[in-house]
Structure 1
Amino acid sequence: IDWPQLVARAKDALDKLGVSINVKERVSNLGMGERQLTEIARAISMNVKIILFDEPSSALSDEERERFFYMIHALKETGVSIIYVSHRLSEAPRVCDRVTVLRDGKKIDTLPMDRADEETLIRMMVGRDVGEKFPKDETKGGKEVLRVKDLTIYGRLHHLELTLHQGEVLGIFGLMGAGRTEFARALFGIDRIDKGEIFIEGRRVDISSPTDAIEAGLGYLTEDKLGGLLMQMTIPPNITLPSLRRFCKFGFIKHNDEKETAKG
């Protein structure tokens, strides 16, 4: 492995995100915000179309959170679509175009952010019916990139339906146990779906494993930030490892191709 070249190209990938991180540093020594940005660089290197963020700011400092919000808007500008799962209501207007509230594994409603102030979201989360006061918004965004129909995991999620458009951020909010993380895990193929359909750019896809999700163009940043990284390794392998199969031939890694991907 040409480590100097690999490190240089990984640095280029991070530079494109406007991030200054010592790529020779072990991931275990990075702060939570830097680990999160490393995961984003990895997702971008895979050319994913949709990224799921599951409680991404839970362990970030105020400074890291501001940098992370900037990164979200930068991703939107590149046409990446985002599902942002969080219980922090104050973050919704910072990053989301629309917001969906879950309660007891069910979708309560989807609202545009100009109709979803914090008081309204709280009312939806705790159970007061405000469906008539805040009707569903029919405004058309970019092209539809994701549609979930009747997604059900018995006893946990019940007939969830939502759509996501190109360049849009759709927030998923709810109290603890409402089904936020369960939805993200099901969509990425970590947990088995009992019923429902998933469409990517109008094409029905069967996602029964994370491998299926990656091949369909989804990326997933978990609620457990440590669970998404190899802490004993440096940044470059963390960026390229999820798509390692693309760089293997007869059991050997094609390092030149791997380096090009790390470069971005």
Structure 2
Amino acid sequence: MKKVLEELFATVQDFRETVPGIDSQVNFADLNSSAVSAKKMVVNIITAAVYREIVSGGETDALSYLRSAVGNATKYKENIFEVLKKRKADGGDIYKYELEGMRRQYIDNYYNAMDSLIAELENFESWKQSPYYRLREKLRIKTAEEFDSLYPIDCSYLFFFRTTPLQREVLSDTIGAYFNRIEGREADFEDKLKLALALTVVALAISRFDIIELPATIRSLFDDSKASRNGQNEQDRLLALAESLMNKSSEILKSVDMALDESGTGDICTETSFARPDDKIYLMP
């Protein structure tokens, strides 16, 4: 059985031309454990069937993007081990910010390759049978371009498809009911509800995904002040952003609630309304 990188690259030189920073002494066997993990990252999105179809389909743009995605993800995962090996071998060291910079560049390359790959897959029948693709048809925000118009995600196909289960969850739990309530008045409320939906999905992604799984636009918010950064501060800032987005979404839904109530019965249920049927309250003309 071929190792992961041998399946994608004819030679180590081909691998070096696709992925920057590869040592001249490296071989596929050294990288295989990281490559297996990288392949799983990709297969979890595009499915094993699509992966096999691309690999067996000859030289195509899809294969080039797949090579870049798996190769850069492999280097991202292997990078820390290479630093440790170098330190043990000759005492050489690397600054934390340099290591972070390299790893972020590899994950950027992976993201760009996956975005391009998924765009190519629109012509693959096997992709149209994948869970992520089929789930999209049940959603209110159906494309990465539409999502990006509501909240900037670098028009990332990867992030869009990664968050389709989150969008389904939000629709099922809360916002889906609002779309039923506005039937016949979509022109007035649909854009607002989609914005609330996008904000909630991004908030959930920020609180649940690793920072490397977020689009560059969001990750860049946490790239400053590297010298004073630590894991806890970064996590606190991520959660603060998630909370801010959730609050904005809640405000939008409240405004929709009020508008629907005012145009309907005129009864507005607010958090400060505590009247009960047994209250002795009389309204005088």
TM over 0.5: no
Largest Rg, 1 or 2: 2
* TM-score (normalised: structure 1): 0.29
Structure number with the higher helix fraction is 2
* TM-score (normalised: structure 2): 0.27
Structure number with the higher strand fraction is 1
Which of the pair has the greater relative contact order for Cα pairs under 8 Å at 6+ separation?
A: 1
